[in-house]
C-alpha cells in the first residue's frame, strides 16, 4: 500500500493491519473458517454479538434461560437489522436472510453442532464456570468456547472447561454490532489454531481483533479504569467539574468526555467493578470513589436520568447538576483534598500521561504485544482521536524524555500513582521510542 501525505493516517492504517501479526502464531497457519455459532445469553451483548455473527454469514443458535428472555434478544436483533437497512448498510432482502440465520433455544444442550460458542451471560464467575462446565459436556470436541467477560479472570472461567486449548476470551464492546474493537483474550492454554480461527471470524465481521493477555481489564479497560478514570476522579475532588473535564477532553479530540461516557454506559458498572476488585486487591486513592458515591445515590447515568449530569425525560443532553458538585466537594473535604481547580491543559495532560504510563506498563507485562496494538484498541474501542494516532503514538510525538519528566513532576506532587513504568525509563535511557518496539 502506498503511503499518503498524512503520516498519522498511514501509521493508523499500519497499526490496524499489524494487529494480525500475533507473536507465537505461525505465519502461514490456515485459519479454520467457522460457520455455525451459538450464543449463550440473549441480553444486550448477546443480541449485539449475534447480529455481528449473522452479518458475517454465520448461523446462530441464541440460547437463554426462558422464552421471554430469548424473545427480547430476537427483538433486539431485528431492531439492529432494521436500522442497518435504514442506514443503507443492508438491503431488506439481506436483512431477511440474516434474520433467518438465527434460531433459538432455552437449553445449553442445543450447542451441539456449533463450531464456536460465545458466552454472554451475567458477569458472575460462578455462573460462567457453570456454563463452561456444561459446554464441556454438550459441545463437540472441536468447538471453540469463548467468554465475553469484561472483568473476570478468564483463567478461572476456562479452568472449568476440559479443553483449555479451545477456550478463549472474546471481549466485545457495546453496542457489539456497531463497535469495531474485539479484544481476543489469549489464556495460558489457548492454542494458536483457536486464536487464528477467532481472528479470521472477527475479520469477517469487519471488526478489528487485537490479541491481548489475561489481566484485570485486559488492555483497554485497565488503562481506562486505572489510568483515565482514576485521574478524572482526582480532578473532580480538586474541584474540576464534569463539564470542564469533558470539554477539555473534547478539545483534545475525544468523541465524548469521560463523565458523559460513564453516564451513557452506566455508572453502576464501574461501581460494581470497584466493589468486586476491592475484595481482593487495592488501588491508589481515590479509585472510582465519586463513581461509587453517585451509584449509591441511584445516579446510574442516562438510564436513571441522573449521573455525573442530570437529564430531561427522553433526552440524552447532559445538564450540569449542582448536587454532583456538592457530592465531590464533600468527598474532598472528608478526605482532606485541597481544592485547586486545574487548567484545561493540565486536565488533558494528566489524563493522557496516566493512559500512556499504564499502556507502557502493559507492554512490559506482555499483555499487549506492541505499542501499535494499544493504539488500535484505543482508536476502535474508546473514541480516541484518530488524528492523534493513539496514546502510544502521541507519547512518541511528545517525546518520551518529556513524558518521563512530566510524570516525575506529578509524582513529586501526588506520589505512587505516578510511578513511571520501568520500560519508559529504559526507553528514555536508550534514547529510543515506542515506535521502535512496533
Ligand X SMILES: NC(=O)c1ccc[n+]([C@@H]2O[C@H](COP(=O)([O-])OP(=O)(O)OC[C@H]3O[C@@H](n4cnc5c(N)ncnc54)[C@H](O)[C@@H]3O)[C@@H](O)[C@H]2O)c1
Cis amide leading into 44 (omega within 30)? no
Dihedral sign, CA of 154, 156, 162, 163? positive
Q: Among 64, 231, 233, 373, which residue sits at the site for ligand X (rule: CB under 6 A)?
A: 64
CB of 148 to ligand X, least distance (A): 4
Closer of 50 and 244 to ligand X (Cβ): 50
CB of 64 to ligand X, least distance (A): 4
Q: Among 43, 189, 284, 383, which residue sits at the site for ligand X (rule: CB under 6 A)?
A: 43
Closer of 124 and 419 to ligand X (Cβ): 124
Closest by CA position to 247, among listed 385, 344, 390, 383: 344
Q: Among 40, 118, 267, 324, which residue sits at the site for ligand X (rule: CB under 6 A)?
A: 40
Instruction: Determine if 148 is a binding residue for ligand X (CB under 6 A).
Output: yes
153 by Cβ neighbours in 10 Å (0-12 / 13-18 / 19+) ranks as: middle
- From 2-10, 18-26, 39-47, 338-346, span contacting ligand X (CB under 6 A): 39-47
Closer of 221 and 244 to ligand X (Cβ): 221
In the region spanning residues 100 to 139, those forming contacts with ligand X, defined by CB under 6 A, are: 120-123, 127
Closer of 12 and 53 to ligand X (Cβ): 53
Closer of 55 and 433 to ligand X (Cβ): 55
- Spatial distance between the Cα atoms of 216 and 39, rounded to a whole number of angstroms: 24
CA dihedral 77, 78, 82, 83 (to 10 degrees): -30
Closest residue to ligand X, judged by C-beta, is 43
Instruction: Determine if 49 is a binding residue for ligand X (CB under 6 A).
Output: no
Dihedral sign, CA of 230, 172, 254, 269? negative
Report which secondary-structure segment, H or E, holds 182: strand 181-186
Q: Among 174, 214, 303, 383, which residue sits at the site for ligand X (rule: CB under 6 A)?
A: 174
Q: Cβ contacts of residue 364 below 8 Å, gap of 6+?
A: 421, 422, 423
Q: Is 256 helix (H, G, I), strand (E, B) or coil?
A: coil
CB of 381 to ligand X, least distance (A): 10
Closer of 150 and 243 to ligand X (Cβ): 150
Q: Among 38, 45, 197, 261, which residue sits at the site for ligand X (rule: CB under 6 A)?
A: 45
CB of 288 to ligand X, least distance (A): 16
Binding residue count for ligand X, defined by CB under 6 A: 23
Q: Among 19, 53, 58, 63, which residue sits at the site for ligand X (rule: CB under 6 A)?
A: 63
CB of 388 to ligand X, least distance (A): 25
- What nine digits make up the cell of 315? 433526552
Dihedral sign, CA of 9, 12, 18, 20? negative
Closest by CA position to 117, among listed 195, 34, 188: 34
- From 35-43, 138-146, 204-212, 422-430, span contacting ligand X (CB under 6 A): 35-43
- Spatial distance between the Cα atoms of 213 and 378, rounded to a whole number of angstroms: 16
Instruction: Determine if 149 is a binding residue for ligand X (CB under 6 A).
Output: yes
Please, are residues 289 and 276 in contact by the beta-carbon 8 Å criterion? no
Closer of 124 and 343 to ligand X (Cβ): 124
- Spatial distance between the Cα atoms of 259 and 257, rounded to a whole number of angstroms: 6
CA distances from 278 to 83, 152, 199, 287, 418 (A): 41, 13, 34, 10, 20
Strand pairing report for 36-40 and 181-186? unpaired
Instruction: Determine if 46 is a binding residue for ligand X (CB under 6 A).
Output: yes
> What b/e sequence results for 235-250 when a residue is b if at least 16 CB atoms lie within 10 Å of its CB, and e otherwise?
bbbbbbbbbbbbebbe
Q: How long, in residues, is the chain?
A: 438
- From 44-52, 109-117, 392-400, 430-438, span contacting ligand X (CB under 6 A): 44-52
CB of 126 to ligand X, least distance (A): 11
In the region spanning residues 246 to 275, those forming contacts with ligand X, defined by CB under 6 A, are: 265
- From 62-70, 161-169, 361-369, 402-410, span contacting ligand X (CB under 6 A): 62-70
Closer of 45 and 348 to ligand X (Cβ): 45
Q: Cβ contacts of residue 67 below 8 Å, gap of 6+?
A: 106
Cis amide leading into 286 (omega within 30)? yes
Instruction: Determine if 69 is a binding residue for ligand X (CB under 6 A).
Output: yes
Q: Among 51, 55, 150, 194, which residue sits at the site for ligand X (rule: CB under 6 A)?
A: 150
CB of 146 to ligand X, least distance (A): 11
Instruction: Determine if 44 is a binding residue for ligand X (CB under 6 A).
Output: yes
Q: Kindly list the residues in this chain that would bind ligand X in the complex (CB under 6 A).
A: 40-46, 63-65, 69, 120-123, 127, 148-150, 172-174, 265
Amino acid at each position: 500500500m502506498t503511503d499518503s501525505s498524512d503520516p498519522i493516517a498511514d501509521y493508523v492504517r499500519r497499526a490496524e493491519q499489524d494487529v494480525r501479526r500475533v507473536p507465537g502464531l505461525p505465519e502461514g497457519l490456515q485459519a479454520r473458517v467457522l460457520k455455525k455459532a451459538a450464543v449463550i445469553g440473549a441480553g444486550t451483548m448477546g443480541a449485539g454479538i449475534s447480529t455481528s455473527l449473522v452479518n458475517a454469514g454465520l448461523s446462530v443458535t441464541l440460547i437463554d434461560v426462558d422464552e421471554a428472555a430469548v424473545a427480547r434478544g430476537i427483538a433486539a436483533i431485528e431492531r439492529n437489522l432494521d436500522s442497518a437497512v435504514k442506514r443503507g448498510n443492508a438491503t431488506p432482502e439481506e436483512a431477511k436472510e440474516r434474520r433467518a440465520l438465527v434460531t433459538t433455544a432455552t437449553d445449553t444442550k442445543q450447542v451441539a453442532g456449533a463450531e464456536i460458542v460465545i458466552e454472554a451471560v451475567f458477569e458472575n464467575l460462578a455462573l460462567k464456570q457453570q456454563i463452561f462446565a456444561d459446554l464441556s459436556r454438550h459441545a463437540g470436541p472441536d468447538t471453540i468456547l469463548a467468554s465475553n467477560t469484561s472483568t473476570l479472570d478468564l483463567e478461572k472461567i476456562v479452568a472449568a472447561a476440559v479443553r483449555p486449548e479451545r477456550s478463549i476470551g472474546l471481549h466485545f464492546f457495546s453496542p457489539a454490532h456497531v463497535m469495531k474493537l474485539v479484544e481476543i483474550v489469549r489464556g495460558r492454554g489457548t492454542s494458536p489454531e483457536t486464536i487464528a480461527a477467532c481472528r479470521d471470524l472477527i475479520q469477517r465481521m469487519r471488526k478489528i481483533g487485537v490479541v491481548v493477555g489475561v489481566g484485570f481489564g485486559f488492555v483497554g479497560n485497565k488503562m481506562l479504569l486505572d489510568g483515565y478514570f482514576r485521574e478524572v476522579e482526582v480532578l473532580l475532588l480538586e474541584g474540576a467539574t464534569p463539564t470542564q473535564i469533558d470539554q477539555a477532553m473534547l478539545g483534545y479530540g475525544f468523541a465524548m468526555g469521560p463523565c458523559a461516557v460513564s453516564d451513557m454506559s452506566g455508572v453502576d458498572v464501574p461501581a460494581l467493578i470497584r466493589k468486586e476488585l476491592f475484595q481482593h486487591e487495592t488501588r491508589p486513592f481515590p479509585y472510582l470513589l465519586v463513581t461509587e458515591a453517585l451509584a449509591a445515590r441511584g445516579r446510574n447515568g442516562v438510564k436513571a436520568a441522573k449521573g455525573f449530569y442530570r437529564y430531561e425525560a427522553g433526552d440524552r443532553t447532559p445538564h450540569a447538576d449542582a448536587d454532583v458538585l456538592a457530592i465531590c466537594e464533600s468527598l474532598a473535604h472528608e478526605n482532606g483534598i485541597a481544592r485547586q481547580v486545574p487548567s484545561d491543559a493540565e486536565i488533558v495532560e494528566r489524563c493522557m500521561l496516566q493512559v500512556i504510563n499504564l499502556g507502557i506498563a502493559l507492554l512490559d507485562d506482555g499483555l499487549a504485544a506492541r505499542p501499535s496494538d494499544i493504539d488500535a484498541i484505543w482508536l476502535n474501542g474508546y473514541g480516541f482521536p484518530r488524528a492523534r494516532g493513539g496514546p502510544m503514538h502521541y507519547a512518541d510525538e511528545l517525546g518520551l524524555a518529556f513524558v518521563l519528566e512530566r510524570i516525575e513532576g506529578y509524582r513529586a506532587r501526588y506520589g505512587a500513582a505516578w510511578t513511571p513504568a520501568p520500560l519508559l525509563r529504559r526507553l528514555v535511557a536508550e534514547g529510543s521510542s515506542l515506535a521502535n518496539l512496533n
